[in-house]
Amino acid sequence: MRESLKPGIRYEHRFIVPSSKTVPALYPESDEFMAMPEVFATGFLVGFLEWACIKAIKPHLDWPQEQTVGTHIDVSHEAATPPGLEVTASVVLIAVEGRKLVFDVEAHDGIDLISRGRHERFIINKEKFDARLDAKKNTI
């Protein structure tokens, strides 16, 4: 990680919600999800917040050798967002504790605040991570 990776890094990320990121699309194998309203799914919202955090810190890592993985998420989902609206994630890196990174996150859909909370990521060495993953796959 570079010396520039310090608390205070801010980033905004925008995305227009397509139908493919709504609740029925989250698990099309699930009859229950298929019957639910076509709104931005919490599962995809979490991924969107992670995406914003990754983009915020990518210039401060030795990418692609260094990457990050999500290790904790604690966010609300406060308002429904239909497809076609643009969502904006605003993230702030608030702590760097060794390889652990802590972010304040929130998202807005132009009408409502739809999410707020905290997200933690951990810096990994991609080659070592992949080697451990391959070893785990070999136990199957």
Is 77 part of the annotated catalytic residue set? yes
Between CA 20 and CA 22, with CA 21 as vertex, the angle to 5 degrees is 95
Whether 68 is catalytic: no
Sign of the CA dihedral 15, 115, 126, 56? positive
Of 13, 50, 66, 120, catalytic: 50
Residues in the chain: 140
| 3-class state of residue 69 by DSSP | strand
Q: Check 77, 81, 119, 120 and give the catalytic one.
A: 77
Integer Cα distance of 78 and 54 in angstroms: 23
Cα 72 to Cα 50: distance, rounded to the nearest angstrom: 10
Q: Is 60 a catalytic residue?
A: no
Query: Which residues are part of the catalytic machinery?
Result: 42, 50, 77
